[in-house]
Amino acid sequence: MELTEGIETRRSIRRYTTEPVSDDMVRRMLELAMYAPSAQNQQPWHFIVVSDRAVMLRIMEHHPFATMLREAARAIIVCGDIRQAKRPDYWPVDCSAATQNLLLAAHGLGLGAVWMGVYPMTERMDALTMLFKLPEGVYPFAVVAVGHPAEKPPQPKRFREERVHYGRW
């Protein structure tokens, strides 16, 4: 799949088949996620890969929009680590870029994925910090559900000319 086609056709997938996602596919998605740009090349991300259904159900208890974890083959928790960061205020931006790369990588591998926001919702962050026993200075940023898609949402046109300003507003 051509890069531009992949960007245009990637959709948030919330329904999955029962087919497992291989460790090789997960590793490849994580490799590509780590190619994301980051402030001063700090790469403050860590990823927790979850395949245990009981743990995914526990995530659902703390995230009101995580019901797709009931069917997803894997969940990937994207975390930001500020412990040795030169620019600790940029971790959410850096983790956003890594999460987008993760979504595009899943799509490129024929998988479906959806981004469920955790940061900046304090109650979600606190719950996932406790659930995964994150060390101090490491913050949960997002949960990404991954699996083989059992749906194909329509591809809307998203370009809005009125949102583009040249030179000034």
Encode 111-128: b = buried (16+ Cβ within 10 Å), e = exposed.
Answer: bbbbbbebbeeeebbebb
Low-confidence ranges of the chain (pLDDT < 70): none
Q: What is the pLDDT of residues 50-97, one digit of tens each?
A: 999 999 999 999 999 999 999 999 999 999 999 988 899 999 999 999
Written as one letter, the residue type at 167 is G
Report which of 118, 120, 106, 98 is spatially closest to residue 41, judged by C-alpha positions: 98
Residue 115 lies in a domain: yes
Residue 69, domain CATH: 3.40.109.10
Domain hosting 69: range is 19-152
Q: How many domains does the chain have?
A: 1
**pTM attached to this predicted model:** 0.97
